[in-house]
Amino acid sequence: MNKVAIYPGSFDPFTNGHINIIERGVKVFNTVIVAVAHHVSKKTTFTLQERVEIIREIFPNSSEVKVDYFEGLLVDYARKIGTNIVLRGMRTVSDFEYEFQMALANKTLYSELETVFMVTESAYSHISSSLIKEIITLGGSAKEMIPEIVEQKLREKLLKKQEA
């Protein structure tokens, strides 16, 4: 049976913790669809298209990892692509409450939807988008926390914003 899991998120920026969940996810599921969420109300550093392109650069020609985007409810996207599995990564205990609430809400909206929680390996549990952005903005290197392409593009964006 072909098991397809959606790994949704804003991925702003995409981190080594995200890669960790995806690489482990493809060992459990045949395909992991990295579904970049577009929230009109959420201010992101990268545009939706930039986030999609960055992730595609990180997983070129992968048959197990697909990159897509969606707007609106995750349950509608899951129905549209024909899967009922959501993969979610958790870094810390504080993530659990939010993730649990979202899983229950999604299950209420789409009773067939199953959420699988995967705990990020400890080497990545401290990584957050706000931490990464602060390190880059203050001139530091986040090369141990994000892929090189992400650091390069993030540095360009954040430093350009500072100059303006």
From the candidates 51, 66, 88, 129, give the one annotated as an active-site residue: 129
The CA distance from 120 to 23, in Å, is 11
- Give the single-character DSSP code of 133: H
Q: Which residues pair with 156 in a beta bridge?
A: none
From the candidates 51, 66, 88, 91, give the one annotated as an active-site residue: 91
Annotation marks residue 111 as catalytic: no
Count of CA atoms in the C-beta half-sphere (13 A) of 163: 6
Annotation marks residue 42 as catalytic: yes
* Residue whose entry in the numeric block shows the structure tokens 């395909």: 31
Annotation marks residue 39 as catalytic: no
From the candidates 42, 43, 122, 160, give the one annotated as an active-site residue: 42
Annotation marks residue 62 as catalytic: no
The CA distance from 16 to 156, in Å, is 19
From the candidates 18, 51, 88, 153, give the one annotated as an active-site residue: 18
Q: What are the residue numbers of the active site? A: 18, 42, 91, 129
